[in-house]
Amino acid sequence: MVDKCVAEDGDEQEASCSDDACCVCLSRVATVHAYPCGHKISCRLCATMMLKASAKAQEKHFRCIMCRANVYRLRYVRPDPVVIVCKPEAPFALHCPHPSEIGSYSRSRSSGSPTPSTSCPG
């Protein structure tokens, strides 16, 4: 079971700030939560290594690395995807040498809806 978690570890992201970082390796996003305390303790790779070490040492309880409380369940929580918002350029500013001279909108007779002017006055 533990080896399956390592095999699926391809979706780990690098931590963008120290608040999100794994408490063990400090390089990947902490995505494993310990319960019942709820601390976000590590990435999946480090959690797997900690569980293996705990089992090898034949420890009765796995303990949270933040508060040392007994951990009865670990939960993997996918990190939020990174969203980059870009401000769009004006539609004809890239193609027309005189973008300020383009009429903004003209009314179409048939539909009555605004339609952008597509001709370059230059």
| pLDDT at residue 82 is higher than 90 | no
Burial 67-87 (b: 16+ CB within 10 A, else e): eeeebeebeeeebeeeeeeee
Q: Which fold has domain 2-76?
A: Herpes Virus-1 (3.30.40)
| Residue 78: pLDDT band with limits 50, 70, 90 | confident
- The pTM assigned to this predicted structure is 0.53
| pLDDT at residue 106 is higher than 90 | no
| Residue 5: pLDDT band with limits 50, 70, 90 | very low
Task: Determine the Cα–Cα distance for residues 93 and 110; give it in Å rounded to an integer.
Answer: 28
List the chain domain ranges: 2-76
pLDDT above 90 as % of the chain = 36
What is the average pLDDT value for the chain, to the nearest integer? 73
